[in-house]
Amino acid sequence: MSITVEERNFGLVTNPLTEARQMVHSYTLKNTKGMSVTVIQLGATIQSIFFPDGSKKVEDVCLGFDDIAGYMTNKAAYMGGTLGRVANRVASGGFTLDETTVNLTRNFEGQFHLHGGFLGFDSVIWEVVQKTPEGVVFRHQSQHGHEGYPGILTCLITYRLDNEDRLSISFEANTDRQTIVNLSNHAYFNLAGHNAGPKGLAEHTVEIASSEIVETDDRQIPTGELTLVDNTAYDLRSPVVLGDRLKQFEHRPIQGFDNCYVVNGGQLLRSTVKVAKIVHPPSGRALEVWTNQPGVQFYTANNITKITGKKGSFYVKHGSFCVQTEKFPDAVNHQNFPSINLNPNETYRHEVVYWFKVEKTCRCCYKK
């Protein structure tokens, strides 16, 4: 037996680019181990990830919504969506490209460009160009000038699931003129279950193979410097219990993690390397993050106020985490950061593998 893929209607929505009513479809990849992943056309979004624990108890470990209305109502959370053309912040919404000033839209507080603008890749309906057990492939062509970006950018996102419980996401992009691109995915996870909330998140341990973070100011705009994590709350080189560590952020301006960790030596690699590992010891569920990217944005849902999610559950602050692989925020304004420029003769490639595992745990140590 191999992977299966099932297509279903997910819901009707007005296409924001054509303003025509359109049916959004969902695609569910299932393996032989009891794991399944559902992705939807809107935003090429990860809608659910069902994964069994050591006792074969299956939970959905990815936050999201049961219907299209949930995604439209809660756009500001980017729940499970694709971030692009450029993930994260661009300071003052502008930059210089080949001695030409480019002004992007300022969709965040009227000052910055965030996650691709008012109509980012999370909000468009992606075309499906392949739906086979080998993977579901989404395609989107972003027109020249959209949200201020130069060039027609053609993007492909491939979702694959295998029988080793690896969810692989491959991003590719080509352009017809010089532009910038830095794609990512904004899945929110809780390995205790999408609805386990802050109590479940606090039980997780997190480990990120990084000795530096991208330094930011009070508005979370990079200064251009990298900061060593030694002797700080940001040092995750050895596993730390998230609930304990989050207590250290209670009196800080940003109450939790929302940091770009420098991984893979700050270089774009040719192959994927393990950069992070998050474990929920009571269930034994673990998530390894493998990528070829130089950065991982680790976020503990600090800005989530009460959102009604799947099955009527409430999603709140510190009730989930994100591990977004990417190049650094505002890279276009810092020459010392890995470049996010893309030329017509080049292909942007970004690989990330979310490898789900079950670890043997000492059951006596945890009261369910």
DSSP symbols for 238-301? S-EEHHHHHGGGTTSSS-S-EEEEE-GGGS--SS-EEEEEEEETTTTEEEEEEESSSEEEEE--
CA pseudo-torsion sign 273, 160, 3, 361: positive
296 in a structural domain: yes
Q: Is 186 annotated as a binding residue?
A: yes
Range of the domain at 80: 4-358
Q: Give the residue among 42, 38, 20 at the shortest CA–CA distance from 28.
A: 38
Q: pLDDT digit of tens for each residue in the chain (368 aa)? A: 699 999 999 999 999 999 999 999 999 999 999 999 999 999 999 999 999 999 999 999 999 999 999 999 999 999 999 999 999 999 988 888 888 899 999 998 888 999 999 999 999 999 999 999 989 999 999 999 999 999 999 999 999 999 999 999 999 999 999 999 999 999 999 999 999 999 999 999 999 999 999 999 988 999 999 999 999 999 999 999 999 999 999 999 899 999 999 999 999 999 999 999 999 999 999 999 999 999 999 999 999 999 999 999 999 999 999 999 999 999 999 999 999 999 999 999 999 999 999 998 655 555 44
Is 173 within 8 Å of 347 (Cβ atoms)? yes
53 in a structural domain: yes
92 in a structural domain: yes
Q: Is 235 annotated as a binding residue?
A: no
295 in a structural domain: yes
SS3 50: strand
Q: What is the pTM of this model?
A: 0.96
Q: Is 204 annotated as a binding residue?
A: no
20: number of Cβ within 10 Å:
8
Q: Is 166 annotated as a binding residue?
A: no
363 in a structural domain: no
The token duo for 58 is: 């299956």
Q: Is 87 annotated as a binding residue?
A: no
364 in a structural domain: no
What total number of domains does the chain contain?
Answer: 1
The token duo for 210 is: 């990084």
CA atoms of 121 and 78, how far apart (whole Å): 10
366 in a structural domain: no
Query: What residue type is assigned to position 6 of the chain?
Result: E
Q: Is 78 annotated as a binding residue?
A: no
Query: Alpha helix (H) ranges present in the chain?
Result: 68-73, 197-202, 242-246
367 in a structural domain: no
**Could you tell me what percentage of the chain is helix, strand and coil, using 3-state DSSP and rounding each to the nearest 5?**
10, 45, 45
Query: Domain with 243 in it: what CATH number?
Result: 2.70.98.10
